[in-house]
Amino acid sequence: MAASSSITTVTLVALFLAHFPSFEALYEDQVGKFDWRQQYVGNIKQCIIEHGGTRRHIFVSTDANVLAGIHAKTGNVAWRHIFRQGDIGVINALIYTGQELVTVTGNGFAVRMWDPSSGVLQWETLTSQTTPMEKSQTPAVLKFNEENSAKKPRIAVTYAGHVSVVNIKNGEELWKDAIPNSDSVQDFLLQVSTDEDDDGVLVVIGRVPGIGFRVVRFNAKDGSVLGQTQIPSPWVQEDTKCITLSGDKIVCADTQSKSIRIATVKPKQQTQSGFISVPLIKLQLQIQDFRVEPLEKFSMDAGDHQSFVLRLNEESIAWVKLDGDDIRIIQNIPSVLAHSFDLYKEQYMLTTASEDQSKRFILLQSFSKDGEVASLKNRIQLPTQSGSIIMVSASHMDKKDKSIGSRVLVKTSDEGLHLIQQGGQITWSREESLASALSVEMVDLPVSETEAQFEDEFGTKKGDNIFSMFARRISTQMSQLQSYFVHLKKKIESFQHGGVVHHGVDQLTYAVQYESDETMGEYLTRDEFSLHKIIIVATKPGKVFGLDSEDGAILWSYFLPNVAPIERGGKLTLPLMIQRTTAHFPNPPQCTIIAKSKDSDKNVIFSFNPINGKPSLPEYPVGQVLPNPLRQATMQNIVDLEFMKVIVLLDKDNKVSVYPSTAESIVAKNMDKIYLFTADSTSGALNGYRLLPLEENELLKGEFHPIFSAEEVWHVQLPSLLQRITHVVSKRPTEEVHSQGRVLGDRTVLYKYLNPNLVVVISEGEDATAKSHVTVYLIDVVTGNIVFQTDHKRVEGPVHVVHSENWVVYHFWNNRFRRNEVTVLELFEGKSQKNSTAFSSLDPPSAPLVERQSYVFSEALQAITTTQTEKGITSKHVLMVLQSGGIVSLPKRILDPRRPLVPTQQHKEEGLIPYTPELVVPQTAYINYNQSVFGVRSIHTSPAGLESTCLVLAYGLDFYFTRATPSNLFDVLKEDFDYLLIGTVLIGLLVAAIVTRRLASMKALRQAWQ
């Protein structure tokens, strides 16, 4: 009795253990073994090289609303702050005084001071006490010193018709005043002058297009209005660029009359004199389109310099100085792509960057007032695929030997950043375009050459006889043996040198530094479990990267200067498709990008080899321009004779063409299997199409000519007055589903509703009572049948959704209860299956059973996805990137709508966990441990060759790559597998067997003698 009861307890414990969901977790010694993180800052808007303090940092503000300090020595991010997305977080000005780093954000809404070395906030002052307006004009920002004393630095900012002056030392708002008559002002200019009293005067100049300038003078100390005046100047256009200079000067570039207009703001006189015009012809400068630029942004030129820059055209500038009412040229420099000024020993130094004829080298030059500083001239070769220079920022300092030295930061049109030390060495490069990665794919590496030959052996060619096949086999095996010995030799050599053979990529600089193609080719071969892959990243500026999945190093990059991303419903996309994988030797793998042309509405299609980044069609190095703008491009699961998947292009006139064009006949054969659908986010219209062959007379000759027309077969109109479609999520076409159903407690099977054509459409908006509202539709896109629809009232986005197998998980903010929630929908066909071999949307099973459940989830999300494995046997986990920076791996089992409130024996047997309203995330479920990721745009998963393992890449401002093993490593021996123990036990058993045998025989002998 006792024994039987103990057995039942044992089984109960086992059952309980089985029911408890297993969270995958890391061991501490696995840190950094197969994961890596890279931090980016985004497209640089403004950068300052630290000249005071420790000179360790470079401060940058970027388009991604990021403020960061970058180590000048290594190029790594020392500290970083990510402001909120949109206008509220935009960084308008970055000012560095030598001790303080000040930012103006939200179009003048907030002024903050940061500690330059640690990036910690020192003070924060808001210029307004109400929530920021949706649209506000760019602020005018000016740093000045009160009473001309460096101990009293002040910052003046305009915001919403007011001007505020803040003490830079402590953040105290000294005064704030409304600017009279500020409506209809396009933008403001600020200026300080000291000629009046000791207090100083802050002059606010409002530019009104077509009328002129409104000038208000404030006492810089207390903000009292000293006077108002107007400068009528009807030539002022919407886009007229004006700057202020010391000595109360306003300088404008009048592009209409091709002249510089100069005015002096007269302090006390009632009658304000107008502008004096200086035609550029007088200066003997030939220009079409020109601008004026101040020497320093956000602060007055030092010491009555009264000089400024005339940018004459894209390629030349002139450094000029006001001379009374005239202009004198200090330096006239033709062929300048970018320039910058900095103060060196109280003198302005001009640094220019230009390209030479071959565009392979850039030329950096430094000019002082007196002429070029020859010792600072540098000729530098930037990495290939960098684009042209668009920004330069320099800092001059004394070197140890008291001669002048310089540090120059160059930004190129691919959003790359390069620091150049004197002597023409690139200290480091940062590929900031990666921060705006739009699509990511992972590609298997090719098998090594000998292995490929091995596969070749089984006679791909006809006419191979058995002897030649045998001979080939022997030869390949010999070469395999040979390469193994070479490999062994290298290993021994490297062991003797006492180091690990690294493939020569310097991680810190993210730069490509391969010595030769040979070593790279050898390094880039598939490993046993295909865990090592190439990550293809397509970015917003049109640069494509191949990253090494082992350490994130850039293996290759390719810059397409002519493309821009496609904008759909406010989202930027850059479709990236793997047309042919590496599995089809000797055909090379091929990836294709579809983008918008930068200078027209047309689309560009570009194919490349994902392993080496070379264009597949060398005759089109920057892609081919399609004749008609596209509505859609989809890759079909149809391959041509060379195993290339076919891309179907639907253009604006609903005509369909095929890429590659050689596959036209195959597509024509499979025409009745291809259905297309489009969703218009603003109008809420969903349309389904089928293909029809074009009439003979409509056929055009030439590449990318349409061969089909798309005929609308269904149309669904979603409510669009107050709602917009925000998500259209289909399943991954490559997804493998291992199990067709679920075994219930009573041993019957509940079959999954596995409709490959099912798409989740989510629309967000408001309902009739102005309450926020989210609607979820599940639509079969072949027939347009709305399979399921659900509403969430008083619920707000941003919605994060993942769709896989027969389930949908989505995350949203519940306004009513002020918490985040996760809902799961799971679809079942029922206890019988209509067709067990294939699913047909045209002959569908009856409406699926939809099980659903919601949970409270305490965290907000950045992105969500699901794990994906080779054969889909491994249980699925949902990966969530939290706003707090963690990546959490939650078993799908705890997001199961069949979780019962009151569990019964049958539920237990089915393996269901009882329902709990809140999903609690254990700390061991964070797969990125303390490597927090921020600014994540999306998370991508890809199966490895090992069934248990899934490769994960979160990308955005931060890149984080790791492996996820949802069911642990069930198909390989554990890392900590105790070989020693099993060995000793075996040997022990063996020894024991021999010893006991001998002992037994001895004993038997003794007994026999007795």
Partner 1 sequence: MKTVYVRTVLCILTRLFLLLLAYGEDAVDSAKRNPNELFTIEGKASVPGMKASEWIPATKILIDGGTYQGFLKSDGSFQLFVPTGSYVIDLTHPALDFEPQRVDVNSKGNKRARKLNNIQPNAVSHLTYPLRFKPKGQMNYFQKREEFRIIDILKSPMVIMMVLPIVFLVLIPKLINTDDPEIKKEMQSLNLMNPKQDMPDLSEMVTNLFGGGAPPQKKKEKAVKGKKK
Binding partner 1 (rule: CB under 8 A), the pick from 126, 226, 363, 873 is 126
Q: Which stretch binds partner 1 (CB under 8 A): 55-63, 241-249, 509-517, 881-889?
A: 881-889
At residue 153, the 3 state secondary structure works out as: strand
CB 533 within 8 A of CB 524: no
Q: Are 607 and 617 within 8 A, CB to CB? A: yes
Q: CA 807, CA 776: separation in Å to the nearest integer?
A: 13
Whose tokens are 């030649």? That residue is 468
Tokens of 266: 């007269």
Based on C-alpha coordinates, what's the Rg of the chain?
Answer: 34
Q: Which is nearer to partner 1, 329 or 999 (CB)?
A: 999
Q: Which part of the chain contacts partner 1 (CB under 8 A), choosing from 382-390, 483-491, 630-638, 923-931?
A: 923-931
Contact 5, 13 (CB under 8 A): no
Member of 492, 692, 847, 989 binding partner 1 (CB under 8 A): 989
Say if CB 735 and CB 872 are below 8 A apart: yes
Q: From the list 985, 998, 1001, 1002, which residue makes contact with partner 1 (rule: CB under 8 A)? A: 985
SS3 state at 748: coil
34 touches partner 1 (CB under 8 A): no
Taking the complex as a whole, how short is the minimal distance between the CB of residue 75 and partner 1, in angstroms?
Answer: 19
Nearer to partner 1, 370 or 976 (CB): 976
State which amino acid sits at residue 484: Y
Signed CA dihedral, 553, 559, 560, 562: sign only: positive
- Smallest distance from the beta carbon of 558 to partner 1, in angstroms? 35
Which CB sits closer to partner 1, 506 or 978? 978
User: Using CB under 8 A, which of 8, 695, 976, 979 touches partner 1?
Assistant: 976
Residue 575's alpha-carbon distances to 662, 674, 965, in angstroms, are 21, 19, 28
Which listed residue (63, 199, 522, 859) binds partner 1 by CB under 8 A? 859
Q: Answer whether the bond into residue 586 is a cis peptide, omega within 30°.
A: yes
Distance from C-alpha of 613 to C-alpha of 705, rounded to nearest angstrom? 28
Interaction between residue 926 and partner 1 (CB under 8 A): yes
Q: Find the shortest distance in angstroms from Cβ 13 to partner 1.
A: 16
Q: Report, in Å, the least distance between residue 848 CB and partner 1.
A: 31
H/E run at residue 469: helix 466-497
Among 423, 463, 498, 917, binds partner 1 (CB under 8 A): 917
Q: Taken in order 161, 163, 166, 168, is the CA torsion positive or negative? A: positive
CA pseudo-torsion sign 513, 517, 523, 527 = positive
Contact between 908 and 15 (Cβ < 8 Å): yes
Task: Select 641 or 989, whichever has its Cβ closest to partner 1.
Answer: 989
Rounded-to-integer distance, Cα 296 and Cα 308, Å: 9
Closest CA to 192 of 168, 162, 226: 226
Among 379, 988, 994, 1001, binds partner 1 (CB under 8 A): 988
Of residues 276, 639, 860, 972, which one binds partner 1 by CB under 8 A? 860
| Selected range binding partner 1 among 115-123, 179-187, 534-542, 616-624, rule: CB under 8 A | 115-123
At 665, which helix (H) or strand (E)? Answer: helix 664-669
CA distance 404 to 324: 32
CA distance 500 to 542: 35
Q: Work out which of 345, 359, 738, 819 binds partner 1, going by CB under 8 A.
A: 819
Binding to partner 1 by CB under 8 A, coded x per residue (else -) over 752-771, reads --------------x---x-
Q: Per the omega criterion (within 30 degrees of 0), is the bond before 922 cis?
A: no
| Single-letter code of the amino acid located at 375 | S
- For residue 905, state whether it binds partner 1 (rule: CB under 8 A): no
Residues 618-637 touching partner 1, rule: CB under 8 A, are none
Work out whether 499 is an interface residue with partner 1 (CB under 8 A). no
Question: Site for partner 1 (CB under 8 A): which residue of 45, 81, 532, 773?
Answer: 81
Amino acid occupying residue 727: H
Range 837-856, binding partner 1 (CB under 8 A) = 856
Measured between its terminal Cα atoms, the distance across the chain in Å is 46
Q: Quick check: helix, strand or coil at residue 996?
A: helix
Q: Which residues contact 442 (CB under 8 A, 6 or more apart)?
A: 533, 534, 535, 536, 549, 940, 942, 951, 953
Q: Is 515 in the site for partner 1 (CB under 8 A)?
A: no
Please answer whether residues 382 and 362 qualify as being in contact, where contact means their C-beta atoms are separated by less than 8 angstroms.
yes
Report DSSP state, residue 527: -
Q: How far is the CB of 991 from partner 1 (least distance, A)?
A: 10
**What's the token pair of residue 383?**
């990495």
Which residue of 820, 866, 941, 942 would you call a contact of partner 1, by CB under 8 A?
820
Question: From the centroid of its chain, how far is CA 218?
Answer: 45
Q: 597 vs 932, which CB is nearer to partner 1?
A: 932
Contacts of 1007 (CB under 8 A, 6+ apart): none
Closer residue to partner 1, CB minimum distance, 125 or 480 = 125
309 sits in which H/E element: strand 307-313
Contact segment (CB under 8 A) with partner 1 among 610-618, 625-633, 700-708, 981-989 equals: 981-989
Nearer CB in complex with partner 1: 15/992: 992
1004 binds partner 1 (CB under 8 A): yes
Window 688-747: residues binding partner 1 (CB under 8 A): 722
Is residue 994 a contact point for partner 1 (CB under 8 A)? no
Q: Residue 522: helix, strand or coil by DSSP?
A: helix
CB of 26 to partner 1, least distance (A): 6
User: Counting contacts by CB under 8 A, is residue 346 touching partner 1?
Assistant: no
Number of residues that bind partner 1 (CB under 8 A): 63
Q: How far is the CB of 952 from partner 1 (least distance, A)?
A: 16
Under the binding rule (CB under 8 A), the answer on residue 833 touching partner 1 is no
- Residue 680 vs 767, nearer CB to partner 1: 767
In terms of DSSP H, where are the helices of 584-624? none
In angstroms, what is the minimal distance from the CB of 54 to partner 1? 15
Amino acid at 437: A
Does 858 engage in binding with partner 1 (CB under 8 A)?
Answer: yes
CA-to-CA dists, residue 443 to 29, 425, 440, 612, angstroms: 28, 34, 10, 12
| 3-class DSSP state of 811 | strand
Among 16, 27, 458, 470, binds partner 1 (CB under 8 A): 27
Contact segment (CB under 8 A) with partner 1 among 196-204, 683-691, 877-885, 947-955 equals 877-885
Which one of 449-457, 514-522, 752-760, 978-986 is the stretch in contact with partner 1 (CB under 8 A)? 978-986
The yes or no reply on residue 929 touching partner 1 (CB under 8 A) is yes
Scanning 79-87, 428-436, 542-550, 624-632 for contacts with partner 1 by CB under 8 A, the matching segment is 79-87
Q: Which of 74, 124, 458, 486 binds partner 1 (CB under 8 A)?
A: 124
Q: CB of 943: closest distance to partner 1 in angstroms?
A: 24
Exposed e or buried b per residue across 743-774, where buried means at least 16 C-beta atoms within 10 angstroms of its C-beta = ebeeeeebbbbbbbbbbbbbbbbeeeeeebbb
Rule CB under 8 A: is residue 907 a binding residue for partner 1? Answer: no
- In the complex with partner 1, the residue whose CB is nearer, 98 or 988, is 988
Among 6, 11, 99, 118, which residue interacts with partner 1 (rule: CB under 8 A)?
118
Interface pick for partner 1 out of 813, 828, 839, 961 (rule CB under 8 A): 813
Contacting residues toward partner 1, per CB under 8 A? 25-29, 79, 81, 83-84, 89, 112, 115, 118-124, 126, 128-131, 134, 722, 766, 770, 813, 817-820, 856, 858-861, 883-885, 917-918, 923-924, 926, 929-932, 976, 981-982, 985, 988-989, 992, 996, 999-1000, 1004, 1007-1008
